[in-house]
Amino acid sequence: MPQNEPWEYSLHIPNDPHAVTVCRRTVRLILTMHGLIHLVDTAELLATELVSNAVRHTKGPAALRLRWRGGVLRIGAWDADPEPPEPPSKLGDLVDAEGGRGLALVSACADVWGWQPLSRNGNRGKYVWCEVIAA
């Protein structure tokens, strides 16, 4: 499949800390198979932060979605908590912090990020996403 053809993958995950590693490795495999190896490191970091927030801060199921369209990689995580994410702090303010770096890293590494309320299979929740524009 040529790099300019759009594609989308979704991975439904349980509320399990192992899901973060499964998602990170799945992102690497998908991007490698599509010839987008130059995006792997950034995409792995972004997916890890989004999925770990979904697993750590909620009690329900979650899902990871990767979408490639028009030279833009969108990475998103759905979780069962409808509350909006906490706004990210500045990375410089988090040097000695034990946590809270997740969305600050997403904000720093992605070209754009956001969130929206989203229901899935009858569960209310939210979808937190970010985009990386391929150079």
Q: Is residue 1 part of a domain?
A: no
Q: Helix or strand or coil: residue 17?
A: coil
**Residue 17, pLDDT score:** 87
Q: Is residue 46 part of a domain?
A: yes
Per-residue pLDDT tens over the stretch 6-24 = 999 999 999 898 999 999 9
Percent of the chain at pLDDT above 70? Answer: 87
Q: What is the mean pLDDT of residues 18-36?
A: 97
Look at the chain and report how many structural domains it folds into: 1
Q: Is residue 43 part of a domain?
A: yes
Rounded to whole angstroms, the Cα distance separating 119 from 78 reads: 9
In the predicted structure, residue 97 carries a pLDDT above the cut 60 = no
Rounded to whole angstroms, the Cα distance separating 98 from 36 reads: 33
- Split at pLDDT 50, 70, 90, the class of 3 is low
CATH, residue 53:
3.30.565.10
- Structural domain for 103, as ranges: 8-133
Rounded-to-10 torsion of CA 114, 132, 53, 17: 150
For residue 90, give the DSSP letter: P
Q: Is residue 2 part of a domain?
A: no
**Of 42-46, 71-75, 102-106, minimum mean pLDDT range:** 102-106
Q: Is residue 18 part of a domain?
A: yes
**Residue 78, pLDDT score:** 93
Q: What is the mean pLDDT of residues 115-130?
A: 86
For residue 69, give the DSSP letter: E
**Residue 119, pLDDT score:** 76
**Residue 94, pLDDT score:** 47
**Residue 23, pLDDT score:** 96
Q: Is residue 125 part of a domain?
A: yes
Q: Is residue 23 part of a domain?
A: yes
In the predicted structure, residue 26 carries a pLDDT above the cut 70 = yes
Q: Is residue 3 part of a domain?
A: no
Q: Give the angle subtended at the CA of 128 by the CAs of 103 and 25, to the nearest 5°.
A: 80
